[in-house]
Amino acid sequence: MTKKKGLGRGLSALLDDPSTEITTSARPTGEPGTPRASSPIGTVPVAHIEPNPFQPRTHFSEEALAELSQSIKELGVIQPVTLRKVGYDRYQLISGERRFRASQLAGLTELPAYIRVANDEAMLEMALVENIQREELDAIEVAISFQRLVDEVKLTQEQLSEKVGKDRTTVTNYLRLLRLPPEIQLGLRQRVIGMGHARALIAVGDAARQVELYQTIISSQLSVRQVEELTRTSAPKSSSKSTARPMKDLSKLLAQHIGSRVSVKQTPDGKGKIEIAFKSEDELRRILNVIQG
């Protein structure tokens, strides 16, 4: 049975809880925030809303915001943002910062909103869980959000998996990404490599070897399967015998990629050389074209 993808039990439970809903409080008709009779959604002046200090996302695509802004100009805000009241006519975003920013770009003066009561911990949880569902988040952003839920909301991995609607193995795999060297984490954030590559690198254990393989992935454009094959036979560089098989496998992978015989040799101290065989100037030019992409 396919697992239903949704907001995550933590966020949806809070949003569905009537005790956190204050938009239904009586207000004079016509004032901002007065809900329509058939809906608990109110309208709030954009000028009265401030960003979420617990926002886990650090980057918003300007192009994507411009596209959303244009859509809002044409169709309005389809999905209300979620706010909490923090003072007289002051509200703070819990979720919906992209919609908030795009609405500002579109020149809107009011936004449809749910207004909730939430303490800082509940607000952090709601913001993190809501953001984890966004498909545009990179793997490291998701991993950091998971780690914050563990550290700051004090969730166990089992509780975390229930909150975000993902199995525990998936949660564990994301958390393990934060153990990778910074260079590889940056590669994940920039989508130079994928989650599959990263999981294969995690299995290596040794940080220096992980970076070495990461650089090979980029330079040789290795597939996830090729990296998995390489890491299965990967071992520390402590002896020439232990590195012989990995170098043989790497030679084979590079030969498949370049289309010519390749020899990779490495000494016990980690130094080495790569030799590529060619039979003619035409073949040499072909190999150079492959290497240069």
- Per-residue pLDDT of 245-272, as tens digits, reads 566 777 777 877 778 888 887 766 667 7
Question: Which residue among the candidates 97, 125, 130, 141 is catalytic per the annotation?
Answer: 97
**CB contact burial 149-165 (16+ within 10 A = b; e otherwise):** bbeebebeeebbbbbbb
Please provide the distance, in angstroms rounded to a whole number, between the alpha carbons at the two ends of the chain.
43
Q: What percent of the chain has pLDDT above 70?
A: 73
User: Side by side, which strands form the sheet with 42-45?
Assistant: 42-45, 110-116, 81-87, 90-95, 49-50
Least confident of 17-21, 124-128, 158-162, 220-224: 17-21
- CB-side exposure of 116: number of CA atoms within 13 Å? 24
Residue 16 confidence (pLDDT) above 80: no
193, 211 in Cβ contact below 8 A? no
Q: What is the mean pLDDT of the chain?
A: 75
Active site residue 136: no
Output DSSP code: residue 79: S
pLDDT band, residue 32 (cuts 50/70/90): very low
Instruction: Confirm whether pTM is higher than 0.85.
Output: no
Among 77, 94, 76, residue whose Cα is nearest residue 85: 94
Per DSSP, the three-state class of 116 is strand
